[in-house]
Structure 1
Amino acid sequence: MSWGSDTSGADSFGFNSFSMSMGSGLNSTRHSQRLPSELRKDFTESMIKQLLEQMEDIDEVGYHFRGTFHRTLHTIAYSRIFSSFVLGVVMLNILTISLETSSYLTIHYGAWFDMMDAIYLAIYTVEFLLKIGATPIAYWKSGFNLFDFFVLIISYVQFAIEVFYSGSLSNVTYIRLIRAARAFRALRTVSFIPSLQTLVKAVLHTLFAVLNLAFLILLLDYVFAIAGYYIFGEIDTGDETNHFASLAGAFVVLFGFITAESWQNFVAILEDTSSVSGLWLPRIFAVLVIFIGHFICTNLFIGVVLQNLDEATLEAKAKQYLKRQSQNGKKKERLSRQQARQLKKLMSVAQGAQVTVDDVIKKVVGHLRHEDMVPITELSCDLSWVQSFLHTLELEEMAMFQVQQLQFELSDVLCEMAEQRLQQSIAHYHQGF
C-alpha cells in the first residue's frame, strides 16, 4: 500500500503510553502481507525492550522547565543522590551536636565544632538555594520545607550573633535558647523519609481531632473533682499535693487515677482514714474514675490516633497514585505530539512508496523505539494486538497445514477413483471384443 495514499490515518491514530504505536495499512484481503516466521522472536523481543525503556527515556514533564539550566537545577535538587547526601549530613550534624554536650570535648575541640557547624550551615544553604531555584513557588507550599527554612533561619541567627558579638555569650539566656534550638535539625530527617512524613501528618491531625476528647476528659475530671472534694475533702492524707481538700489537689489525684499510677496507695489511705464513707465508697469512686477516665477515654484517644494514621496513609497513597497518573498522562500527551511530528515527516518522505508489512518489519525490527513511527490506516498494533496477531498467524499456519493434509488425502482418493474407473473402462473394453 502507499504510505501517502491515505492521510486520514493520522487522525485516527490511537496511542497508549505502555504500547508501541506502529502499524500499516494492512488489507485484510491480502493474505500475502504476513509477518515472516523467522522474524517473530526478534520482533517480540525488540517490542518488549522498547516498552521497558519507553518510560525511562521520557523526561519528567510534570513541571514546566524554563530552560536547560532550570532543568539541570531541578534534576540535582530532587535527585536521590543529593537527597541521600543531605540526609547523611543531617545525621552527622546530629552526632556533632550530641558530642558538643561533653564539656571536655567542647573545651578541647570547640574550634573544630564551630568549623563543622559552619560547613553544615553552608550545605543547608546550598540545598535551600537549589530547591528555591528549581521550584520557587511550590517550595513554600510544603510544611516540611517551611520547617527546614525555620531551622535555617535559627542557625543563621545563632551564627550572626556569635560572629558579630564578642564576649562570653554562653551565659546569655537567649543565646543558650538559640543553641538549644539546633536540636530541631534532627527533625529535618522527616523531610527525606516519606513514611515519617505520613506519621507526622497523622499526629498533627490527631492533635486537632482529640481536642473534643480532651475537653470531655476535662469535664469528667471536674465532675469527679467536685464530688471528691465534698466526699473526701475533710480527710487528711498527709500529702500536700495528693488530696481532695482543694480543687487543684483533686485534679492531681484524678490524673493519677486516669493514668492508673499509684492509685492503690491513695485508695488505701482513704479507707484507713475515712470514718464516714466506710470501705466501699473509696473503692467505688476509684473504679468509676479508672473505668471512665482510663479504659474508655484513653482507648478512645488511641482509636483516634490509629484512625488518623490509617487515613493519612491512605491519603498519601492516593496522592502518590494521582501524581503518577498525572505524570503518565502528560507523558502520553508529549509522546503523542512527538509521534505526530514524526508521522508527518515520515509521510512526507515516503509519499508514493509501495511498502508492505514484511518490508516494514524487516526495516524496523531491532531498531524501533518509542519515537519511531509506522503510519496506521486500518488498525493499531499495541503489544496485546501483536501477540494476538502472532497467535493468529500460528493458527493460520496450522489450519493451512491441515488443509494441505486434507488436499493430499483428497488427491489420493481421486487417484484411487481414477484408477478404479480406468480399470473398469479397460474391463468393459475387453468384454466388448
Structure 2
Amino acid sequence: MESGEYIIQLQRIVESKTFTNFILAVILFNAVLLGLATDERIYASYENIFILLDIVILAIFTIEILMKIVVYRLRFFRDGWNIFDFVIVFGTLVLYNSHFIAVLRILRVLRVLRTISVVPSLRRLTTALFMAIPAIGSVTLLMGIIFYVYAIIGTSFFGELAPEYFGDVGLSTLTLFQVFTLESWASGVFRPIFAEVTWSWLYFVSFIIISAFIILNLIVGEIVNNAQQLSEHAEEESRDMERIKQDLQELKQMMRENGKH
C-alpha cells in the first residue's frame, strides 16, 4: 500500500463515528476514574490499578493525537481545539515523572474538557460563547451602570434604615448583587425594609426585572444567536461536502466509462 493510500485509510479511521465515540468513551471513563481517585480509601486499595489505567488512557490519547498529526500534518495546529488537546496530552507526557505534581493533576483533570473538542455540538456551543464575549462585555458595562445607579438610590433612601445593607455605595452594590442572584433577598433584605418603607417594593422589583431578567436574556439571546449561525454554517459546509462527494463519484463513473471505450 502506498503512503498516500495509507494516509487516506488512516483519515477514514480518524474521522469515523466509531473512532470518535471510542475516544469519547475513554474520556468519560477517565472522568469516572478521576472522581473515584478523590476517595483516599478507594485509591489506596486499588492504587496500582489506577496507575495502570491512567497509563493506558494516556497511551490511547497519545496515539489519537499522533494519528491526527500524520493525517492533517500542519493543518492539525490550525484548529484551536487540536492545540488544546495537544497541550493537555503531551504536557502530561512531559510532566509524568517530574516533580510538578500539581500541574500534572491539573492536566489530568483538564482531560475531561476534551469532551468539548470531541462532541461537535459542544464545540459549536463553546465557540458561540466565545463569539458572544464582545457583546457580553457591552451588556456587562450596561449592568455595571444599572448597579451603580441603584446602589446610589439605595444608599440615599435606605442607608439609615438598613446600614448593614445600604450603609454606603460598596455595601449597596454587594446587597444588589445578592438580590441579583435571588438568594434570600426577600427574607434577608427586602421584608425588613418593606416593613418600614412600603414603596420599597418598586425599587427591588424594578431592579430584578431589569438586571436578572432583561440583562441575562440579552446575554443568552446573543449566545443562542451565535450558536444558530454556527449551526447553519456547519449545515452549509456539510451540504457542500456532499455535493463534492457526488461530483467525485460522477467523475469516477465517467472515467470508468471512458476506460471501457
Q: Is the 8 A contact 1:229 1:245 kept in 2?
A: yes
Aligned CA distance change for structure 1 residues 133 and 233 (closer, same or farther; 3 Å)? same
Indicate which of 157, 176, 181 corresponds to 1:254.
176
**In structure 1, what is the Cα distance between the partners aligned to 2:209 and 2:66?**
55
Aligned CA distance change for structure 1 residues 331 and 103 (closer, same or farther; 3 Å)? same
Aligned CA distance change for structure 1 residues 67 and 180 (closer, same or farther; 3 Å)? closer
Q: Secondary structure at the match of 1:135?
A: helix
Structure 1 letter corresponding to 2:198: L
Matches within 5 A, 1:383-394: none
Task: Tell me what 2:74 maps to.
Answer: 137
Structure 2 letter corresponding to 1:252: L
Q: Secondary structure at the match of 1:160?
A: coil
Structure 2 letter corresponding to 1:128: I
**In structure 1, what is the Cα distance between the partners aligned to 2:12 and 2:116?**
21
Q: Is the 8 A contact 2:161 2:193 kept in 1?
A: yes
Aligned CA distance change for structure 1 residues 298 and 87 (closer, same or farther; 3 Å)? closer
The C-alpha deviation readout for 1:332-351, integer Å capped at 9, x for no partner, is: 344444443x15xx2xxxxx
Indicate which of 29, 33, 57 corresponds to 1:92.
29
Indicate which of 263, 268, 279 corresponds to 2:198.
279
Aligned CA distance change for structure 1 residues 106 and 289 (closer, same or farther; 3 Å)? same
**In structure 1, what is the Cα distance between the partners aligned to 2:205 and 2:11?**
61
Aligned CA distance change for structure 1 residues 119 and 331 (closer, same or farther; 3 Å)? same
Q: Is the 8 A contact 2:179 2:208 kept in 1?
A: yes
Provide the TM-score with structure 2 as the length reference: 0.87
Q: What is the CA distance between 1:151 and its match in structure 2?
A: 1.6
The C-alpha deviation readout for 1:84-124, integer Å capped at 9, x for no partner, is: 33222222212211211110122122222112111111111
Matches within 5 A, 1:287-366: 287-340=205-258, 342=259, 346=261
Aligned CA distance change for structure 1 residues 338 and 215 (closer, same or farther; 3 Å)? farther
Structure 2 letter corresponding to 1:269: P
Question: Is 1:219 the counterpart of 2:142 in the alignment?
Answer: no
**In structure 2, what is the Cα distance between the partners aligned to 1:230 and 1:157?**
59
Q: Is the 8 A contact 1:198 1:316 kept in 2?
A: no
**In structure 2, what is the Cα distance between the partners aligned to 1:88 and 1:284?**
52
Whichever of the two has the greater Rg, that structure is 1
Q: What is the CA distance between 1:134 and its match in structure 2?
A: 0.9
Q: Is the 8 A contact 2:125 2:227 kept in 1?
A: yes
Indicate which of 175, 183, 193 corresponds to 1:270.
193
Q: Judging by fraction of residues, say which structure has more helix.
A: 2
Structure 1 letter corresponding to 2:118: F
**In structure 2, what is the Cα distance between the partners aligned to 1:185 and 1:117?**
11
Aligned CA distance change for structure 1 residues 133 and 264 (closer, same or farther; 3 Å)? same
Choose between structure 1 and 2 for higher RCO, CA contacts under 8 A separated by at least 6 residues: 1
Q: Is the 8 A contact 1:158 1:179 kept in 2?
A: no
Q: Is the 8 A contact 2:62 2:89 kept in 1?
A: yes
Structure 2 letter corresponding to 1:261: E
Q: What is the CA distance between 1:307 and its match in structure 2?
A: 2.1
Q: Is the 8 A contact 1:121 1:152 kept in 2?
A: yes
The C-alpha deviation readout for 1:270-310, integer Å capped at 9, x for no partner, is: 244x5xxx432x22221221222123222222322332232
Q: Mark the runs of 5 or more structure 2 residues left unpaired by the alignment.
A: none
Q: Is the 8 A contact 1:90 1:185 kept in 2?
A: yes
**In structure 1, what is the Cα distance between the partners aligned to 2:76 and 2:246?**
23
Q: Is the 8 A contact 1:131 1:139 kept in 2?
A: yes
Question: Is 1:198 the counterpart of 2:116 in the alignment?
Answer: no
**In structure 2, what is the Cα distance between the partners aligned to 1:271 and 1:192?**
52
Task: Tell me what 2:167 maps to.
Answer: 245
Aligned CA distance change for structure 1 residues 75 and 214 (closer, same or farther; 3 Å)? same
Q: Is the 8 A contact 2:128 2:223 kept in 1?
A: yes
Task: Tell me what 1:123 maps to.
Answer: 60
**In structure 2, what is the Cα distance between the partners aligned to 1:85 and 1:67?**
25
Q: Mark the runs of 5 or more structure 1 residues left unpaired by the alignment.
A: 1-64, 166-173, 347-433
**In structure 2, what is the Cα distance between the partners aligned to 1:202 and 1:177?**
29
The C-alpha deviation readout for 1:203-259, integer Å capped at 9, x for no partner, is: 33233432211211111111111222222223345x4xxx12232221111122223
Q: CA RMSD in A?
A: 2.4
Task: Tell me what 2:8 maps to.
Answer: 71
**In structure 1, what is the Cα distance between the partners aligned to 2:228 and 2:16?**
29
Aligned pairs, number: 259
Identity percentage of aligned residues: 27
Structure 2 letter corresponding to 1:324: E
The C-alpha deviation readout for 1:111-149, integer Å capped at 9, x for no partner, is: 221121111111111111111011102212223222211
Structure 1 letter corresponding to 2:159: G
Aligned CA distance change for structure 1 residues 205 and 130 (closer, same or farther; 3 Å)? same
Aligned CA distance change for structure 1 residues 179 and 222 (closer, same or farther; 3 Å)? same
